[in-house]
Structure 1
């Protein structure tokens, strides 16, 4: 079995957050969803657990960050083609997300949004040639790319 990633997010309103993430095209797993939590399935290996603040506190003694004013983490999700960035961002914005700053280096492109609780997400695509680390090939294909 492949390793799985579970991103646990404290949210003010589980149902509102669940509806937001479903509007992105992601599904909920009803086996792990109730009034305290919603299990969002992004893929077979990536899941987001939306937890009410009271429920989230059961897992950590730390204070919950106010993500409307503080960045605790940026959750980055890759897509297979650059046009899929815009597809997902359009859905997020239509569902009420706040758009963040885009980035475009030619070989890597991203757009960002904040969910209803202020959790930042980045949707990104990277040309497979860049993933190899062959910066000479990247520079040849994308001469405007910054040199690492």
Structure 2
């Protein structure tokens, strides 16, 4: 059905947001990057579009909320291991991000997350198996 996913995230300071994600090891596709937006590949056919707030407003008639004070959703990415989860969270904190909750170990799944410079919540999970049957 769908071939790609693009998560659009308004940013107060696009250059600072780019630097933050570059510190985590992400890159940007120059074909989809300029002074109004930055296309960040997350995986095969998965992208985050970091958008300057004024540019983001051109796509919606709704008010852009402050992700530091309101949640409308969050990005959840899978990782290959618990160690990868922890390493990305550590890089995010070192680059100026915060951790809104402690790491959680549910047995079949390990997760932790961070908030980026704008307050967008990024959850990272390592799926170790299937959840228990109830």
- Confirm or deny that 1:111 pairs with 2:112: yes
Q: TM-score, normalised by structure 2?
A: 0.92
- Confirm or deny that 1:122 pairs with 2:123: yes
- Tell me which stretches of 4 or more aligned residues in structure 1 moved more than 4 Å: none
Runs of 5+ unmatched residues, structure 1: 137-147
Which residue number in structure 2 is paired with residue 58 of structure 1?
A: 58
Equivalent-residue separation in structure 2 for 1:29 and 1:35 (angstroms):
13
Runs of 5+ unmatched residues, structure 2: none
Which residue number in structure 2 is paired with residue 8 of structure 1?
A: 8
Equivalent-residue separation in structure 1 for 2:100 and 2:111 (angstroms):
10
Report the Cα offset of residue 44 of structure 1: 2.3
Q: Does the 8 Å contact 1:37/1:51 carry over to 2?
A: yes
Higher relative helix content: 1
Which residue number in structure 2 is paired with residue 140 of structure 1?
A: none
Report the Cα offset of residue 105 of structure 1: 0.9
SS, match of residue 58 in structure 1: helix
SS, match of residue 110 in structure 1: strand
Report the Cα offset of residue 68 of structure 1: 1.1
Equivalent-residue separation in structure 2 for 1:55 and 1:119 (angstroms):
17
Q: Does the 8 Å contact 1:77/1:122 carry over to 2?
A: yes
The number of residues matched between the two structures is: 132
Equivalent-residue separation in structure 1 for 2:65 and 2:87 (angstroms):
29
1:17-75 superposed Cα distances (whole Å, 9 cap, x missing partner):
01111111111011111111111111222111011111001111110011111112111
Which structure's CA Rg is the greater one? 1
Higher relative strand content: 2
Higher relative contact order (CA 8 A, sep 6+): 2
Q: Does the 8 Å contact 1:68/1:117 carry over to 2?
A: yes
Equivalent-residue separation in structure 1 for 2:91 and 2:79 (angstroms):
15
